[in-house]
Homo-oligomer: A and B are copies of this chain.
Amino acid sequence: MVDQRIVSSLVVPNTTKIVLMVVDGLGGLPLEPGGLTELETAQTPNLDTLAREGICGLHDPVGRGITPGSGPAHLALFGYDPIEHQIGRGVLEALGIGFQLQAHDFAARGNFCTVDDHGLITDRRAGRIPTEKGAELVQLLRSIQLPGVDVFVEPVKEYRFVVVLRGPDLHGPLSETDPQRLGATPLAVEPLRPEAERAASLFNQWIAQARNLLADHRPANMVTLRGLDKNPGLPTMQEVYGLRAAAIAAYPMYRGVARLVGMDVLPTGESMEEEAETLKAHWEGYDFFFFHLKKTDSSGEDGDFEGKVSVIEQVDKVVIPALVSLQPDVLVITGDHSTPALLRSHSWHPVPVLVHSRHCRSDGAMAFSESECAKGGLGRLPATDIMPLAMANALRLAKFGA
């Protein structure tokens, strides 16, 4: 894996343009042994042309056998080591609902739960209260005030919510409060280093007030907090690569991860056509575009093989011609991870990747598919090597050493 600091030290500015198109959950599996994957089943003449002209391979988002979440998978595609930069669930949950997390905000994922008269947990999910009820209780919790910080409470779904503290001198790491079993009391937030004491104390004050506010409610009469973490303050794409970077993504999670690495998140409609229009409208304003398409992943998670095939065909028909017509100097097409309909979930399988540029040294790949990419000239590569390759193909990296 190429160290991001080495890449960063070699950056030279120019006017080339890079597009990183992420077809979420792109990789798949055949439904029957010996069959074709979703991508291999789909009729994709435009992608196949790009594969023939470009160079193909398979990338591992985190490592062989590791099924990545969307957060680490996208960080890796942006060239940030997902192992070095592990980001707490509180932060990812906040990003996932579109909360505009600022530098140094401290976020926790909250669960409503049920406790008995002795304060012992009897239901860790408060009977999975409906989303409307969760939102109503969140509204109640918004009355909590803490000294020296702003407090934000946002509903997620059912019994889940997010708490964010905003203010100076908030440091981690902090322990979680869910004892992970019934019959135990929720734990206190513990500072895991001396400098974390202030943040721990503030979260504990918040929990105490929440307990009082919820005391007479049933079944949700208490809360637990998990994944307490700070916005990690990653170096921006501008700082690392010298790129004016923009994100075109319809879903909050992906807009959030893009914001974590300093991209401008462009307003866009949700459809493929609208996203392509957004790209065209902002083409002159940026050097790098992260272009995200969600529906492949959603249909994979639904176990809808045919649906995923159909989305891929629509991408080929609608999006690819629009991208190609803009003549990016470097066009990278890949997924953040595999989501085989067969598994109805993210998976560990490596992900097809295609790099198209004037300088890419084409291989013999005849189509954009798992099997052709497995034979491709890029070979098998860690996802974090994709950005260095894109930068090199854009002639934006100087020589290392004399």
Contacts and interface: CB of A to CB of B under 8 A. Distances in A.
A65 B385 contact: yes
Given A6-B63, A6-B83, A380-B380, A68 B399 contact: yes
Interface in A358-402: 358-359, 361-364, 370-371, 374-375, 377, 379-381, 385, 387-393, 397-402
Interface residues of A, number: 69
A34 interface: yes
Interface in A306-356: 340, 342-343, 345-349
A224 interface: no
B64 A402 contact: no
Given A349-B361, A364-B371, A67 B397 contact: yes
Contacts of A359: 29, 340, 342-343, 347
A221 B392 CA distance: 39
Nearest to A53: B33
A402 B69 contact: yes
A72 interface: yes
Interface of A: 1-3, 6-7, 10, 29-30, 33-34, 37, 53, 58, 62-73, 82-83, 86-87, 89, 92-93, 96, 340, 342-343, 345-349, 358-359, 361-364, 370-371, 374-375, 377, 379-381, 385, 387-393, 397-402
